[in-house]
C-alpha cells in the first residue's frame, strides 16, 4: 500500500510540475488499489481485534495500524487531487510560483519516503525525525499562500491562482499525513505518544 501511495504521489508530481497528462490519467486506478488495501487492512485489524482478544501491546499495534493506513489512504486521495488540478492547469501558462511549489512537493515526498522506511524497519527514531521535516513544508505553504493570495493587477482569469492555492494545501496536508505515519511508527515501537 505504501509503495502504491508513493507511486501515486510521484505521478501527481509529474502531472503538476512536468505537465505530464498521462501521469495524471494513471492516478485514479492506483487510488482504487490503495482504497482496496485500506479497506482490507482495516477489516483484517478489526477481525483480529474481535476474534483474537489481543492484549495491550497487540491492541496498540492494531489500532495504530488502522490509523496509519488511513493516513496513507488520504495521501493517495490528495495525489489524485493533484492530478486533477494538473489537468485544469495545463491550459494556462506556467506560473513563476511553480518552481517553489515543486520544491515543496519534493520535501513532502521525502517525508513520505522517510515515514515508510521507518514503518518498514519499525524504527521509532526515524519515525520521530519525520516531524522535524514538516516545518519546511509548513513554511513553504505559508510563503506560497501569501504570494498567491495577495497578487495585484491580475490580468485574465483567477482560476490558476485558485488551483495553485489548492495544490499547495494538498501538499501541506500530505506532509502532515506523512508526519502522522512517522509518529504512529514511533508509538507502535515505544508505546509512547509524542
φ/ψ region of 153 (left if φ > 0, alpha if ψ in -120 to 50, else beta) reads left
- Say yes or no to pLDDT of 147 above 80: yes
- pLDDT top residue among 153 and 112: 112
pLDDT tens, 46-65? 898 888 877 777 888 888 89
- Say yes or no to pLDDT of 124 above 90: yes
User: In what helix (H) or strand (E) does residue 114 lie, and over which residues does it extend?
Assistant: helix 98-121
pLDDT tens, 158-179? 999 999 999 999 999 999 999 9
Return the percentage of the chain with pLDDT > 90, whole number: 81
Which of 58, 64, 63, 135 lies closest to 104, judged by CA? Answer: 135
Give the structural domain span for 82. Answer: 2-190
Count of the separate structural domains present in the chain: 1
SS3 12: helix
CATH number for the domain spanning 64: value is: 1.20.58.220
41 vs 47: CA distance, rounded Å: 10
Grade residue 193 by pLDDT with cuts at 50, 70 and 90.
confident
Query: Model pTM?
Result: 0.94
Amino acid at each position: 500500500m505504501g509503495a502504491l501511495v508513493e507511486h501515486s504521489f510521484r505521478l501527481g508530481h509529474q502531472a503538476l510540475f512536468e505537465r505530464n497528462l498521462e501521469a495524471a490519467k494513471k492516478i485514479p486506478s492506483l487510488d482504487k488499489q490503495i482504497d482496496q488495501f485500506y479497506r482490507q487492512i482495516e477489516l483484517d485489524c478489526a477481525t483480529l481485534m474481535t476474534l483474537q482478544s489481543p492484549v495491550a501491546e497487540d491492541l496498540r499495534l492494531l489500532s495504530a495500524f488502522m490509523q496509519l493506513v488511513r493516513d496513507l489512504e488520504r495521501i493517495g486521495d490528495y495525489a489524485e487531487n493533484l492530478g486533477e488540478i494538473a489537468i485544469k492547469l495545463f491550459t494556462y501558462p506556467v506560473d513563476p510560483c511553480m518552481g517553489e511549489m515543486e520544491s515543496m512537493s519534493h520535501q513532502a515526498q521525502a517525508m513520505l519516503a522517510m515515514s515508510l522506511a521507518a514503518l518498514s524497519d519499525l524504527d521509532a527514531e526515524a519515525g520521530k525525525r519525520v516531524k522535524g521535516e514538516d516545518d519546511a513544508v509548513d513554511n513553504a505553504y505559508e510563503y506560497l499562500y501569501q504570494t498567491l493570495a495577495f497578487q495585484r493587477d491580475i490580468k485574465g482569469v483567477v482560476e490558476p491562482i485558485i488551483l495553485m492555492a489548492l495544490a499547495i494545501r494538498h501538499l501541506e496536508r500530505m506532509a502532515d499525513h506523512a508526519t502522522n505515519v512517522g509518529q504512529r511508527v514511533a508509538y507502535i515501537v515505544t508505546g509512547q505518544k509524542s
